[in-house]
């Protein structure tokens, strides 16, 4: 049976690698994106994976977007909540909007996408939800109280929803990436990046494809006994 998957933020960076891994696994994939239509069009031309634009922090947009994907491709079996933003700053300089936007998109997006898709998975007796957390949600990070709180919330959300889905054949898991060689990390000044890499025991940044392979396991038929789990893929930078 061909599964239908949605990857939020699925046309760039880690999301792109996840979309490609799920396609390679045999899924019919839809990649959600927020704003860069030109990049999304390039992605579709390159991969053949259709893109759908909506803001995952907008509840009604998620309901409508998922309904559109289902109408085009079929019932949604797999959701990867990858979309996220940063609005970094120390607390005394962080505005409420900086806090609220990160919470609305990074954590609220997980809720919105689950509300749009979890009931159908439950009814059909099969589903896979994978939420992309972060090492900074596990260990904290200076200047990221908003991002760390949202990502930490994802790990709690994952465990709670996993308990609801287990008896219906719906698994809910999380991946906590460390520092990955994406465009976002590439923008970090070289001296700062050197200090980051120095703290990673394996001595390098991770690759987006390494996160994608972890997602591919959780979304596979073979991953059905793993639920409520957070897999840390961080080169040994944070262990607990």
pLDDT of 67 reads 98
| CA atoms of 95 and 173, how far apart (whole Å) | 31
pLDDT of 21 reads 98
Picking from 192, 189, 190, 105, the residue whose alpha carbon sits closest to that of residue 141 is: 192
pLDDT of 186 reads 80
| Sheet of strand 78-81: strand arrangement | 51-53, 28-33, 4-7, 78-81, 127-132, 170-177, 230-233
| CA atoms of 178 and 140, how far apart (whole Å) | 12
Domains, the chain, ranges and CATH?
A: 4-228 (3.40.50.720)
pLDDT of 188 reads 82
pLDDT < 70 stretches in the chain: none
pLDDT of 211 reads 98
Instruction: Please say whether the beta carbons of 112 and 60 come within 8 A.
Output: no
Burial class (CB in 10 A: 0-12, 13-18, 19+), 141: middle
Q: Which residues are catalytic?
A: 147
Residue identified by tokens 């260990």 is 139
């Amino acid at each position: 049976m061909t599964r239908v998957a949605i990857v939020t933020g699925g046309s760039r960076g880690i999301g792109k690698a996840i979309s490609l891994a799920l396609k390679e696994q045999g899924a019919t994939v839809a990649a959600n994106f927020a704003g860069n239509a030109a990049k999304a069009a390039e992605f579709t031309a390159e991969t053949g994976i259709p893109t759908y634009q909506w803001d995952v922090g907008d509840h009604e947009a998620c309901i409508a977007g998922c309904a559109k994907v289902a109408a085009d491709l079929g019932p949604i079996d797999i959701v990867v909540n990858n979309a996220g933003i940063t609005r970094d700053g120390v607390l005394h300089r962080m505005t409420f909007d900086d806090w609220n936007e990160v919470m609305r998109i990074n954590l609220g997006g997980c809720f919105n996408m689950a509300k749009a898709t979890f009931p159908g998975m439950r009814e059909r007796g099969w589903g896979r939800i994978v939420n992309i957390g972060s090492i900074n949600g596990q260990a904290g990070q200076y200047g990221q109280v908003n991002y760390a709180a949202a990502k930490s919330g994802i790990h709690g959300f994952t465990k709670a929803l996993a308990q609801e889905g287990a008896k219906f054949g719906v698994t809910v898991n999380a991946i906590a990436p460390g520092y990955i060689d994406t465009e976002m990390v590439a923008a970090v000044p070289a001296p700062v990046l050197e200090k980051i890499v120095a703290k990673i025991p394996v001595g390098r940044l991770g690759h987006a494809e390494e996160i994608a392979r972890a997602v591919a396991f959780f979304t596979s038929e073979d991953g059905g006994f793993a639920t409520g789990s957070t897999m840390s893929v961080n080169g040994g930078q944070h262990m607990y």
